[in-house]
Structures are given as C-alpha cells and as structure tokens.
Amino acid sequence: MKLLHVVGARPNFPKLAPVFRAGERRGVTQVVVHTGQHYDDALSGSFFNDLGIREPDVNLEVGSLSHAAQTARIMERIEPVLMQQMPDWIVVYGDVNSTAAAALVASKLGIKIAHVEAGLRSYDRSMPEEINRMVTDRLADLLLTPSRDADVTLRGEGEPPSEIVFVGNVMIDTLCHSLERARMTRFRESLGVGRDAVVVTLHRPSNVDDPERLHAIASALASIAERRPVVFTVHPRTAARIESMGVNLGKVRQLAPIRYLEMLDLVEGAYAVVTDSGGLQEETTALGVPCLTVRENTERPVTITEGTNKLVPDPGRLPTAVEQIARPTNPKRPEGWDGHAGDRVIDAIVSFRR
C-alpha cells in the first residue's frame, strides 16, 4: 500500500507525525507532499526536525496568496505529483486550503481520500476553514474523526456509517511524544517567566483584520499585562496588522513565531492561554491548562464540555475571565486522546473495504 500525505500549514505537521510513524511501523510506503502554504521556518521547516520525521519528499512552494489564488495554485501544482505517484490513498489533515485543494484534485483522479480530523463544524461559514472542512468531508472516502460528536455530525449530514471511523486525536499523540523533549528546552525559563504568565496566539482574520476588534483585543491584553506577565507569540500576518494599524499592546511581551517544542514548554507552564487557534484548544485541554478562546464559536466543542476551554467572544471580558479562572485539580482527557490515534488511523486505512 502507498499513502501520499499532504500538509501545508503549521497545524498539519503535528497531525502528520504520529500517522507517518504508525505507517512506518506497518511497513507502508509513504510520500509526504508539503504545499508550502506556510514557509517560515518556525511555522514550517523546523517542525519536521522537532517532530522526528523526515523532510517532505516534495515541496510545492506555493507561498502566501489569497484564498482563491492559493487553492488554485496548490491544485495546479499537486496534480502532476499525484499523477506521477498514483498512491492508493491520499491522506489530508485538518481544514487548511491545502486540505481542500488536494482533496478536489485526488477525487477527480479517482484516488481514495482519507480525511484526518473529519466531522468538525463551527457552523460559521464566514470562516474559510469551515468551507474547507465541509468540502473535504463530502469528497473523502474515509472520515477519521477525533471525537464522538464528529461522528454524530457526519451521520446527520448523510455520510454512510461505513465511511466514518472514530480514531481519536492525533494532535495529542504528538503532544505525548514530544512533552519531555519540550520540557528539556527550558524555553519558558529562558524567558524568565513563571507559572503566572498568560500565553497568547491570534491569527484569524475575524480578530486581526478588523481594526476596531484588534484594538479592543490589544487593550484587553494590555490590561491583563498590568497584573501578570503576558507573552504573545505573534503570527507574521498578525504582526503586519499590529504595525499597520498602530496597535498599542502596552507591557505585553511580543515574540516572533517559535518552534513547536518551545511553544509546548511555554503552554504547559502557563497560567492560561488566550487564543483563536483550534489546535491550542485541544492541547490546553490535554495539558489541563485553562484556555480562553476569542471566538463566537468553536468546531471543537469537546474542549468545552470535557476540557478546559471557554469561549470569550467579547474581548472586553478577557481581563475578568483571566482573573476568574479556576484551574482544574484533576484534569481528564476526552476519549481517544491517549497517544495511539495514529495507529488507529493506519489500521482504518489498511482495513478499509467499501
């Protein structure tokens, strides 16, 4: 059996790693295609070394473009790769443009598609990721879900039960695999911050492209920073908005994007995390770290019902929400967040019969 994995952005790489390692253990032939949707070393290149997997076999070097142009360029450049490789399966991850673009091309070439992290929904079509999730799930032959609610969603959308397989959360496989090495970086200690720090990441257009909202978020973070350390790892597009809009973050400490292991060490030792990232909602739940998600909705409701996540759609409420945090005394991980989801992904693909 031959699998071709498609990844393109930072959230994809921790999902790829445990599946790739599981495939190696099973003797499966594997090809990794990196679309180059993220090309900064901290957002992309360093991940392969940090996660202990080989460099991609192919890099499409698509770069940063508008959603339409990026999707089109990925489709154009990946088609000859798929025609040359002709894998038994293409494996796509999450909800980035690379995922939907690769699924569209593979479907038209008659290549079976496995979608890792299928069935997640925010029910907010203003989010480009929601469109990518819906398109990919409609095209996929095998829907590999991270939580039981995703199974329910897919059945409700008319997907055949035979194509839906609950495998658990591959992101947590990577967290379990990497946590000790992350601690060894002593990155949080190198910054001189204690366990009272709030860690921040923000990148979604709904938060950073609207000047009024970005200024409101910055004002809230500056208020929090008057009481406790705030460390903001700033995505390149967010940094550009902060500069162009003249945003004042007060005493907030800003960092350029950092490596995966450094970020994991920083988050594990945080008092709380403020984010709009899907992956961090999951990682904080697994680590038992309170998470405040600056969004109206989440496609990962299990992080609220069974985890440490809380939605804070109004940025003005962030300072109060931080001060009212009650840390869980005995955090538990949701079902399937056990470090073995990658093996279940490979098992599901190898054993699939239509």
Please list the residues that pair with 200 across neighbouring strands: 232, 274
Residue 321 has pLDDT above 80, yes or no: yes
* Architecture of the structural domain at 2-168+338-351: 3-Layer(aba) Sandwich (3.40)
Please list the residues that pair with 312 across neighbouring strands: none
Signed CA dihedral, 262, 91, 173, 137: sign only: positive
Q: How far apart are the C-alpha atoms of 260 and 175, rounded to whole Å?
A: 10
User: Which stretches within the chain are classed as H helix?
Assistant: 13-25, 46-50, 67-85, 97-108, 128-139, 148-156, 170-185, 187-191, 205-208, 211-225, 236-244, 260-268, 278-287, 302-305, 318-323, 341-351
The mean predicted confidence, pLDDT, of the chain is 94
pLDDT, average across residues 335-347: 97
Longest dimension (CA), the chain: 59
Tell me the pTM. 0.92
User: Which tokens in the block code for residue 134?
Assistant: 């819906």
Please list the residues that pair with 144 across neighbouring strands: 116, 165
Q: To the nearest whole percent, how much of the chain has pLDDT over 70?
A: 98
> 354: burial class by Cβ within 10 Å (0-12, 13-18, 19+)?
exposed
203 catalytic, yes or no? Answer: yes
pLDDT 10s digits, 204-229: 999 999 999 999 999 999 999 999 99
User: Which tokens in the block code for residue 163?
Assistant: 């194509």
187-323 matches 2-168+338-351 in CATH topology = yes
**Closest residue by Cα to residue 136 from 150, 39, 148:** 150
Q: Which of 5, 38, 203, 235 is catalytic?
A: 203
Q: Where are the domains positioned within the chain?
A: 2-168+338-351, 187-323
Angle at CA 164, nearest 5°, toward 129 and 101?
35
Task: Tell the CATH topology of 187-323.
Answer: Rossmann fold (3.40.50)
